[in-house]
Amino acid sequence: MRLISWNVNGLRACLQKDFLPTFQALDADCFCLQETKLQAGQLELELPGYRQYWSYAEKKGYSGTAIFTRREPLSVSYGVGVPELDREGRVIVLELEKCFLVTCYTPNAQEGLKRIDHRMAWDDAFRARLQALDAVKPVVACGDLNVAHQEIDLKNPGPNRGNAGFSDQERGKFTELLAAGFTDTFRYKNPDAVGAYSWWSYRFNARKNNAGWRIDYFLVSDQIRGAVTAAPIYSEIYGSDHCPVGLELKEELL
């Protein structure tokens, strides 16, 4: 079972940068997107063989998520279940036969951590949502979680300490999430890998110099981490300021 997650930073823009050939080449069973920046009816996307599920922000041209899946879900739900947090189209949950698949676009704490209170509330609600799902069946959760967990997960940890995405508060919430019964699959398979990033600023030739951050993840319930066979980062794929990340699972072990 192959899954892909990609923050496309505007799907209409990404479509002009070889999104469809990339989609076809990656050949995923489930393909999850974040930051689609779309409203309902703004885009008709033909993906033969895939069912499409979309979540839109109330604010135009902002946030948004999608899942394209070859597998018909048993049920579909949206959000974390907190009305004030669920206006930005940030979460889709598909119930599949053996697991829940969740895609998430976590709010950015923003410059000066001006949205940190909202972010902390989000992290608590998202963790609670995953725990509730995990009590029913195993969870596979992916997306742009907007945090580099450890110093190994970004090129320049010293100057970025305390900045959005690498604040003690956000890193602490991610630690809490893992402690609640979830595994960061990339680190599980690649505990000592350095220079492995999924997002690069458009400034300062950051991608050319690989001055990046690993903020895009696949998490799985601890109970199924033995099913993880690979957790690649497709850093060679362009089209966004993020690259796709993947997960391959032995389905019989789910």
Give catalytic residue positions: 105, 144
3-state secondary structure of 77: strand
Helix, strand, coil % over all residues of the chain, rounded to 5? 30, 25, 45
Angle at which helices 116-134 and 168-179 cross, to 10°: 10
User: Please, which residues have CB within 8 angstroms of residue 231's CB and are 6 or more apart in sequence?
Assistant: 185, 186, 188, 189, 190, 218, 245, 246, 247, 248
Query: Tokens at residue 225, please?
Result: 């981490």
